[in-house]
Structure 1
């Protein structure tokens, strides 16, 4: 997936656990894990706003785009 989620990086910088972050932003640890592990199909702006507020960061600190490498023999 070309969108990479860097919540782990910010959690480490802030020395915060996934459970503590989930509690502070008001979602379940399971739903935060889905987002954190890049398995989410979408993220609500309210959730992104809460993440940025609690982690004291910008959306670009949590999400970034990486170009997909074309598969071998499959030019894009």
Structure 2
């Protein structure tokens, strides 16, 4: 997957746990965990917006593009 979710790093920087963030964003713990562990296939803009608000960050801080060819080396 070329798009990586950097949520775990941001959560650590902001000192927010999974349960706390899930409550603030109003998302299930299971779905937030899927997103955090790079298992998600999609994310709603409304969810991304809520996460950005809760973590005081930009979408580009959460979603990172990595060229798949770089991973093959």
Q: Please state which band the TM-score falls in when normalised by the shorter chain.
A: over 0.9
Larger Rg: 1
Alignment of 1:1-76 (within 5 A): 1-69=1-69
Could you tell me how far 1:62 is from its partner in structure 2? 0.3
Q: What runs of 5+ residues in structure 2 fail to find an aligned partner?
A: none
| Alignment RMSD | 1.4
Could you tell me how far 1:59 is from its partner in structure 2? 0.1
The structure 1 segments of at least 4 consecutive aligned residues displaced by more than 6 Å after TM superposition are none
Could you tell me how far 1:69 is from its partner in structure 2? 2.0
TM-score normalised by structure 2 residue count: 0.92
SS of the equivalent of 1:13 reads: helix
CA separation in 1, counterparts of 2:17 and 2:23?
10
CA separation in 2, counterparts of 1:8 and 1:38?
10
The superposition leaves residues 15-35 of structure 1 with CA deviations (integer Å, 9 ceiling, x where unpaired) of: 110110001000111000111
